[in-house]
Amino acid sequence: MPDAPPGARFEVEGVTVRFGGLVALDGVSLHVEPGEVLGVIGPNGAGKTTLFNVVCGFLTPSEGRLSWRGERLTGLKPHKLAGLGIARTLQGVGLFEGMTVLDNVMAGAGTRPRAGFASALFGLPRADAEEAQLRARALAALDRLNAADYAGRYPGSLPYPVQKRVALARALVSEPGLLMLDEPAAGLSNDEMDELGDLIRELSGTMGVMLVEHHMDLVMRVCDRITVLDFGKVIATGTPEQVRSDPAVLAAYLGDEVEAPAAASGSTGRVSTRKDG
């Protein structure tokens, strides 16, 4: 993981979310460094989804703040994320059924600079050039995920694992500095999960990654650090080795049999879970 100044990272500071009398998040703080994969784990009801929704702008926290690249994020809206250099995937694929795979991926560019209204309206060269560049980026993102052959298809005609790849390509087309993944391994086979792990490690070479996931094999394999939530509070943060040896974490989340990934061979360690993470 490369060294970076504190201002280059993404930070969540003292975030609290209340729903009436229920405290869903209680003073949560974490950060993601450039080039780092941060995993967020916890049982059902721990606050993972609420935290993800705050980071994506779906929820406004009752207290606390978010900052990105040294700038405080205020009034964050989901459709503005791409323009800030932040991309996300959701638990479901969230693709537009009436659009082709290629058009879905191109839509992920969000608020990146585009040609002016007049250029687009009259089909002037500037608009044509930007459209071609965006199309090329979208095809490159699909090709990176071995999904380019599906560019002209519609999402509903594709197997679920392929739809997941398309959704990830849509996030990558904006060339983000921070990628947020919400349960990306859901519905994948073991082989597909291994491929996903390889891809996440590759992506961390050019961006920070925040991974919310309950498949502990994947989390332990790909994450540089892990933050553990329980009842809306952070109960542990550290490397996979530190977290898996924390008595409270072992008792509450990971069960009794936890093995670190075999670094030399690249194989994935096995984790026995007591609760759904």
List pLDDT tens digits, range 62-87. Answer: 999 999 998 898 778 888 888 889 99
Return the percentage of the chain with pLDDT > 70, whole number. Answer: 82
Mean pLDDT throughout 172-192?
A: 91
Where do runs of H (alpha helix) occur along 12-146?
48-55, 81-84, 101-107, 117-122, 125-144
Global pTM value? 0.81
Residue 257 lies in a domain: yes
Number of domains in the chain: 2
Claim to verify: residue 220 and residue 250 sit in the same structural domain: yes
Q: Which amino acid belongs to residue 49?
A: T
Claim to verify: residue 146 and residue 19 sit in the same structural domain: no
CB 180 within 8 A of CB 55: yes
Residue 24 lies in a domain: yes
Largest CA distance in the chain: 66
pLDDT of residue 128: 72
Alpha-carbon torsion 197, 198, 201, 205, what sign?
A: negative
Q: 125: pLDDT confidence band, cut at 50, 70 and 90?
A: low
β-pairing, 10-19 vs 225-230, is: unpaired
Q: 270: pLDDT confidence band, cut at 50, 70 and 90?
A: very low
Residue 115 has pLDDT above 70, yes or no: no
β-partners of residue 10 are 32, 68
Claim to verify: residue 142 and residue 196 sit in the same structural domain: no
Give the domain CATH number at 24: 3.40.50.300
Query: Which residue, of 107, 133, 167, is where some domain finishes?
Result: 167
Claim to verify: residue 273 and residue 185 sit in the same structural domain: yes
The helix/strand count (H/E) of the chain reads as: 10, 10
Residue 90 lies in a domain: no
Residue 123's domain spans which residues?
A: 95-167
pLDDT of residue 259: 45
Q: Considering only residues 120 and 238, tell me which one the structure prediction assigns the higher pLDDT.
A: 238
Claim to verify: residue 122 and residue 195 sit in the same structural domain: no
